[in-house]
Structure 1
Amino acid sequence: MPESKDVEVSTRGRIGILTINRPSVRNNLGGDVVRGIYEALDAWRDDDAVGAVVLTGAGDKAFAAGADIGELQRRVPTDALVGRISGLLRTLEEYEKPTIAAVNGYALGGGCEVAMACDIRVAARNARFGQPEVNLGIIAGAGGTQRLARLVGKGRALDMLLTGRLVSAEEAERYGLATYVVDEGAALECAVEVAEGLLGKGPLALRLTKLAVHAGTDVDMDTGLLVERLAQAVAFASADKLEGTKAFLEKREASFTGR
């Protein structure tokens, strides 16, 4: 697998682990980080040996502290229109396999946006979430204004986005921004444990569930329910449905194939 020097790629069983490895700059998203994440996700997409993906940051100070400010200063309007990081996060959000962020320390700006693009967010108690872009005279432009409002509600999102204030792990959990809060230093292990639990589920069912949620959240209820029924129809036609129901009736573990 091609590997960026700024992203460490490893596996633990059937779990792929991506570690942003720039601790000297609080794991910001400069350098080769975006390319490294893209390459790993592409390599794992059709690899049955990897069933779930965990993203984290090296060290205990930061998950990812946003953009490289020096690089940011040189950006021009067309860079925003290209949306390199925004495109990566859309790929991450729509990824066929479950994704879990293990947030240790600061998740700021683009780092918070990376975490929000994951399906599940495990936060250590020292985690701090924030979108402080207004302090630099810009806005949260990699999905921050959209995903944050959908996760925590418009009022809380506006508070965070307009003030640029940071919220603790506990506050993030109350808001719905953090899924789980664990002891400092335990975020990665908890994320791996959650991922291992997902590996026992039907992979096609997981993929269809993600599709139904993302496609249905921002449309009217009737359209969302139609998306859900169509996704269920696909599941009903699958070998996984037959195996899952048969295994339940036979009181054994299911052996899913994702088909």
Structure 2
Amino acid sequence: MSYQNITLNYEDLTAILRINRPKKLNALNRDTIQELHKALLEIQDDDQVAVTILTGAGEKAFVAGADIAEFADYSVEEGEALAANGQKKLFNIVENFPKPVIAAINGFALGGGLELAMAAHFRTASTNAKMGLPETSLGVIPGYGGTQRLAQLVGKGKAMEMIMTAGMINADEAHRLGLVNHVFAPEDLLDQTQRIANKISKNSIVAITSAVEAVNAGFSYNKDGYATEIKAFGKAFGTEDFKEGTQAFLKKRKPDFPGK
């Protein structure tokens, strides 16, 4: 499939999905969100892909925010629809994606950019990365789940401070807060993130998909995380991956998971 605002490449079992609007610092607009939506569906249907790395083109920005010019004159109703559609088409899909999604934050991740990174299953960052939710400086609040996911990741107090001050934090502070898992030199970010992806791809993607569902259930207001875990745990016993994993362990060999 051909894309205008993103690129999609494959390396081994990993899909590398880049927002590709460097002249706009990879800012999110409606077309980019729609293309990301389509690309994720393409990746989901590709049995050769185990992990997705989500990053930005160039060295300056992962995503420096939403394209403000696109919605500066929106009405109340249009603003609500913008948030709802973005959640449905992209951010919730990323959070609940059945294959692991790692956000590799290269440079600025602000507003919608940080919100997109937070929707991923976890994050790596370059040493020059800067992160923040500056929306209150524009007279609006963080959208696309930003108020919810930031508090889940760094705690309510720090989330309140970051949102209220509209300030940025650097990669080291983001690592200290648990917002990112690893910090790498800019030139090493993608290779080191790929190394993590390769490690993940050796495990059962069937089991990982169920684990994602169970973990996310614990952060959902209308789901019971423990009940979801129990059901998913039991379901695993009926998979071919479970049979392969246990037999490989008992026979002291490496597993070759069929992904079923």
Which TM-score tier does this pair reach, normalised by the shorter chain? Answer: over 0.9
Aligned-pair distance for 1:196?
0.9
> What is the rounded CA distance, in whole Å, between the counterparts of 2:249 and 2:221 in structure 1?
34
Q: How does 1:62-211 map to 2 (within 5 A)?
A: 62-82=61-81, 83-87=84-88, 88-211=90-213
Aligned-pair distance for 1:238?
1.1
> What is the rounded CA distance, in whole Å, between the counterparts of 2:73 and 2:3 in structure 1?
22
Could you say what the CA RMSD is over the residues aligned between the two structures, in angstroms? 1.5
Render the CA deviation track for 1:60-91: whole Å, top value 9, x for unaligned: 10000111111121333223333222221001
- Asked if 1:255 corresponds to 2:252, the answer is no
Aligned-pair distance for 1:220?
10
Q: Aligned to 1:32, what secondary structure does the other structure show? A: helix
- Asked if 1:224 corresponds to 2:225, the answer is yes
2:202 partner letter: G
2:256 partner letter: S
Render the CA deviation track for 1:225-246: whole Å, top value 9, x for unaligned: 2221111001111111110010
Q: Aligned to 1:141, what secondary structure does the other structure show? A: coil
Q: How does 1:26-65 map to 2 (within 5 A)?
A: 26-30=25-29, 32-65=31-64
Aligned-pair distance for 1:118?
0.4
Aligned-pair distance for 1:218?
4.0
Tell me if the contact between 2:216 and 2:225 (Cα under 8 Å) persists in the aligned partners. no
> What is the rounded CA distance, in whole Å, between the counterparts of 1:169 and 1:206 in structure 2?
27
Q: Using structure 2 for the length normalisation, give the TM-score.
A: 0.95
Quote the sequence identity (%).
Answer: 40
> What is the rounded CA distance, in whole Å, between the counterparts of 2:251 and 2:49 in structure 1?
28
2:203 partner letter: K
User: Which residues of structure 1 form unaligned runs of 5+?
Assistant: none
> What is the rounded CA distance, in whole Å, between the counterparts of 2:137 and 2:21 in structure 1?
23
User: Which residues of structure 2 form unaligned runs of 5+?
Assistant: none
Aligned-pair distance for 1:31?
5.6
> What is the rounded CA distance, in whole Å, between the counterparts of 2:52 and 2:87 in structure 1?
19
Tell me if the contact between 1:203 and 1:257 (Cα under 8 Å) persists in the aligned partners. no
Aligned-pair distance for 1:189?
1.4
> What is the rounded CA distance, in whole Å, between the counterparts of 2:221 and 2:175 in structure 1?
26
Change (3 A) 1:220 1:95: closer
> What is the rounded CA distance, in whole Å, between the counterparts of 1:76 and 1:188 in structure 2?
40
> What is the rounded CA distance, in whole Å, between the counterparts of 2:77 and 2:48 in structure 1?
39
> What is the rounded CA distance, in whole Å, between the counterparts of 2:221 and 2:110 in structure 1?
29
> What is the rounded CA distance, in whole Å, between the counterparts of 1:8 and 1:220 in structure 2?
36
Tell me if the contact between 1:248 and 1:254 (Cα under 8 Å) persists in the aligned partners. yes
